[in-house]
Structure formats: C-alpha cells, structure tokens
Amino acid sequence: MISKDYVKGIIQEDRKTFFNDLEISKIDKFPSQNNINLIADFTEYSPLHNGHFHCMKEAKHQVNDSIFVAIVPGLFERSGRGLPYILHRKYRGEIAISVGADIVVEGPPMGIMGSGQYSLCLAKMFKSLNTDFIPRGYKKINGFDEIMNRISTGHAIAPKPYKIVDMDTGEIVLKGKLEEDNYVIVSLSKSLNKVGFDFKDKFIFVERITGVSGTLIREAIASGNFDNVKDMMPKETIEVLKREIADGKCPLHNMRFDDEIINNANNLSFSDLSKLNFFNENYAQKFIDLRGKKAFDSIDDVKKAISRGFSTHFQNRVLSILETNIEKNDVSKYIDQYPSVIRVIDYKNKDVLDKFREKIGKNIVFL
C-alpha cells in the first residue's frame, strides 16, 4: 500500500528542484565532440510496454553506432493528461536501460503545462542533445503518409482546428483531427521549427504494433494480476512493477497529495489563484465564490469546480497545478531557459556516459 507521505515527498522534493532550476543560467547548445549518432526518443513509459520496446529496437536497428537516449518526463510525476504516473521516473528509467536504452534523461514536468508548452520544452531538449534521429510511433491512417513525407523533408506541420496545415506552404494536408500519437508528431515538428532545429531526415517513423492495451495494463497493475497482460510488456517491466508493488511504491497512478489540493483550493487568495498556470481572474473568482458557499472537503468537491476547458485533460491538469502550486510566470521562465541542466536518470555504463558527455558537452547532473 502506497503511503500518502511518499506522494507528498515526491511533490515537495520536486518543487525544490523546479525552483532551483529557475535560478540556473540558460545553457547553450554545445558543439558535438564526436561523430556518434544520437537517437533521442521522448516517451512517458508508464509503463514501458511492447509498443515502446518495438520502437526502440527498430530505431537502433536502423542506426548503427549510436547512443539511444530516452527522454522520460520527470518533475512532479504527472503526465501530459495531468494524471500521476504508474512508477517514479527513477524506475521508469531503470526499465528503459534494462531493455536497451543507453542513457535516460529527465524530460519536462508535463502535468503542470499545456500540450504546446511541453512540446516546446521537448523541442528544446532535442536541440540541446544535438539529436541526430528522433523515432516516433504512429498509427497508420489515410493521408498521414503525406504528412510524414513532408516532415521528413523538413516541413513544419501545424495542427489547427479540424485541419492539419503545412506551415511552409500554407496547404491543408489533412482535414479533421489526429489521434494522440500522430498529433504529437505534427505538434513536435511545429515546435522544432519554432526553436530553429533542422529536423530534415531526422525522424524515424515506426508504425504502431497491435495487441497492446494501455488500459488493460493499468488495470492489471492496479489489481496486481499480470496474467492477462504479460505478453504486452517485456519481462523486465513486469519484474520492476512487481518489485515496486511489493515495496509499496507502485502503482502511483491514482495517488495525489490530496491535502495540499484541498488546502490550496480553500485558502489561496484571489490574487494567488489568478497567478496559477491554467487559471485567470474569472476562474479564480469561480473558486472564491464556490468556497464562500461551502468549503471544499474532498477532491471530488474540487473536481466539480473545474470546467473541462478546451481539453478533456484540463481537469486533471488543474488538480496538478493546485497540488504543486506553480504560477504561470514561473512556468514561462522555466520554458524560456529549458533545459537549464541535462539531468541523467540512469545510464548503461561509464563508456556510454563518456560518449554522451562528448556528444552534448559537460553540463550534466544526476538524479
């Protein structure tokens, strides 16, 4: 059984790291000191399943003499959906190394940002790593081959309401919306273009495999019964999951720092609420008005006060902001100088680490 104090400790420790990073001067892109190819893949690994493993193996197969760097999102342990991860990033990184990654570095704090904000952070991370190749899994749909072809030639593709647009030509290349994996690809191309990173011929597109269900995996982890999903994950993932469940550190995905959320919803002033990321004056006033009638007594009470907003994940992101108490100005400053450090979560061996240092420069720290 996971202790509430364990979750509280993660949030409080990561707040210290977040604000310490704000005080570090912005790092520049270092010139590479070797010719080794660096493959950088951003994946949440919550948990690492056969789809992730397939993408890693395919990328490594296509690029010989390379370092595979897994960018695993870090601070506050909250996903792009605003939900807690299954495992702490330290253990997600451990699994990645055990199945073939060479280096695991900490990615941005996704749960306290909007999708455009963390996409921009990721683009800046790819640039800072002197990345040579970026593998991305995609779902095959009509019209997406044309989008991938354009991205491969260096065109930035932008997701717009009900259409996908080539930013270089202004053409509409696809009408409608994209599903998550495909949406991430086009959004990332837009962000890479914004930070001035030449991504021509850098993407390795890997078609998603079938037979893997994240929902079934999460249900199995919650119950501790892996029989129905053991073929969906590498054995290394299952071993770490079972170990951390036994140690009372998994699963984290339903755990929040409830007391802090309720306390902040009830006690932050109008001014302080207005400054939080995702909040504005109208939204802050709504909280003030509701708690004036009846104090928030539970997470469910707080959820009822949160509008869905423009995203189905908005409610959980707002909970994460109330949980961490991060202001929008601090998020903007964080993004502006991101990454202030390259934080290594795990690595294969010293030889790989030395090659990684030479590739990106010396400014790295360890989790």
pLDDT of residue 218: 87
pLDDT of residue 361: 78
pLDDT of residue 126: 96
pLDDT of residue 166: 97
Model's pTM, two decimal places?
0.94
Q: Residue 136: which of 122, 115, 117 has the closest Cα?
A: 122
CA distance between the termini of the chain: 25
pLDDT of residue 31: 64
pLDDT of residue 2: 82
Q: Residue 205: which of 219, 226, 186, 218 has the closest Cα?
A: 186
pLDDT of residue 137: 96
Rounded to the nearest 10°, the torsion over CA 73, 330, 4, 259 is -150
pLDDT of residue 179: 86
Cβ atoms 135, 39 nearer than 8 A: yes
Low-confidence ranges of the chain (pLDDT < 70): 26-32, 308-312, 362
pLDDT tens track for 224-248 = 888 889 999 999 999 999 999 999 9
pLDDT of residue 308: 67
pLDDT tens track for 51-77 = 999 999 999 999 988 999 999 999 999
Cβ atoms 249, 3 nearer than 8 A: no
